Structure 1
Amino acid sequence: MSPTEAQRLRKPSWKDPRLLVGLLLVLASTTGVIALLQSQDRTTQVYSARTEIPVGATLTAEDLVAVPVRLGDAAGSYLPVSEGIAEGTVATRLVARGELVPSSALGTADELDRKPVGLTVEDPLPTGAAAGDRVDVWISLRTDTNTYDEPQLLLEAAEVAELTVGESALGSSSSTLVQVLVEDDAMPELLNALSNDARIAVVLDPGAGS
């Protein structure tokens, strides 16, 4: 038997570097699996919306409830209870009741690129219309002869922040206050129409958000 063959058949020693490397690889793999399982099983306390939070609303403790969840790597995307609520924090988008509060849905008032404006409409929106829906806002400007121009589309696919249905003295619905979110560049024209008693029509746009 040659020396080379004898070396291959020799019983491995603890000092054999190949054996040590193999053991290190097994340990590293086992440690990684254990760490992954522990991270998936770890719960994190994050905030959930106790009630619906409209855009621009300032968050308070009464709006939120702490819930334990297993989020894994996604935990950093939500508002943790350990950080609390910074003073002056507002919702920059609608947060539905029961939804985990995303960090991306929070900001300050001066960061809002849309602001809610209340529009009173006489024709009710379809049954089931709610905050978060999209609507088209049409205006008819008043003329000097107290008539109205042809309707013009002013806001397309504006998001509804809040709906409040009014009641007449007999208990029937009389009008609806629709809070729509308006971008700054469209604000002057809309406010001008409102201040000059223009007719306002709000039409549900069900395909805008799809």
Structure 2
Amino acid sequence: MSLHLSERTTGAEPAAARLRKPSWRDPRLLLGILLVLGSVASVVALVDAADRTTEVYAAKRDIPPGTSLTAEDLLVVPVRLGNAEEFYFPVAAGLPRDAVAGAVLREGELVARSALVHPDALDRKPVGLRVEDPLPASTDAGSRVDIWAAMPNAVNGFDEPRQLIEAAEISEMAVTESALGTTRSTELLVLVEDADLPLLLSALSNQAKITVVHNPSPGS
């Protein structure tokens, strides 16, 4: 009888050991606490970053490509950028020296780092054009146009027009009218890549008739 009780007591000892409360020195418990604390810290950091505002620059007006930016062209606005903060210029750091607009900056648009370039990096030059044919009302700075030219011909007046440049970007645009309002023309500054300049300048110097056609491409 005593032997039987002894066997029961001996068999119960491992079960009691398994049910013992974990100690604070248990490395598994410490690891679990560290994981929880790390997770909480990450969430707090994300919330803090989302709530933090940064002062960055925004365009005060429409700014054509190639324009050197000054304080008069820009506004200082506080915004929540979160993870996108690295893509913009913080006011505290200032703008890079000699930077110019690489593309049209719309009024109110935040100035991204990719929007500013060094003047030497511009591979497009503004060329002035005057066109008599009206353009769609939606055409404005930043729109894309195809440029066509008809060369003078002593017999028929002008040759058949041919396309010189596709999807050139308008940097500036102004509509002018005569004193009596009988005639109307559009003055354009279009950005022309260096490779296309000789062809366009040759057409202009030979008194070609220039026609500009709005190009509703994805880049317009």
TM range (shorter): over 0.9
| AA matched with 1:131 | A
What TM-score do the two structures reach when normalised by structure 2?
A: 0.89
Kindly provide the CA deviation profile for residues 123-159 of structure 1, in whole angstroms up to 9, marking residues without a partner as x.
1212231111111110011235683211000011111
Answer yes or no: is the 8 Å Cα contact 1:157–1:208 preserved in 2.
no
**Corresponding position of 2:53:** 43
Count of aligned pairs: 210
Identical amino acids, percent of aligned pairs: 55
Q: 5+ residue gaps in structure 2? A: 1-10
1:173, distance to aligned residue in structure 2 (A): 5.5
**Corresponding letter in the other structure for 1:132:** G
Aligned to 1:121: 131
Query: What is the TM-score normalised by the length of structure 1?
Result: 0.93
Q: Does 1:162 align with 2:172?
A: yes
Tell me the secondary structure at the aligned position of residue 177 of structure 1: strand
Task: Give the letter for the 2:126 counterpart.
Answer: P
Letter in 1 for 2:151: L
3-state SS, counterpart of residue 153 of structure 1: strand
The question of whether the paired residues in 2 share the 8 Å contact of 1:134 and 1:208 is answered with no
Amino acid in the other structure paired with 1:108: H
Name which of 65, 71, 77 aligns with 1:67. 77
Which has the larger displacement, 17-26 or 144-153? 144-153
* Letter aligned with residue 55 of structure 1: P
The two structures, once aligned, show a CA RMSD in angstroms of: 1.7
SS at the partner of 2:42?
A: helix
Structure 2 residue aligned with 1:131: 141
Give the match's secondary structure for 1:67: strand
Residue number in structure 2 paired with 1:96: 106
Structure 1 gaps of 5+ residues are: none
Contact conserved, 1:55 with 1:92, CA < 8 A, in 2? yes
Q: Distance in 1 between matches of 2:35 and 2:44?
A: 14
1:179 Cα deviation from its structure 2 partner: 1.1
Secondary structure (helix, strand or coil) at the match of 2:180 reads coil
Larger Rg belongs to: 2
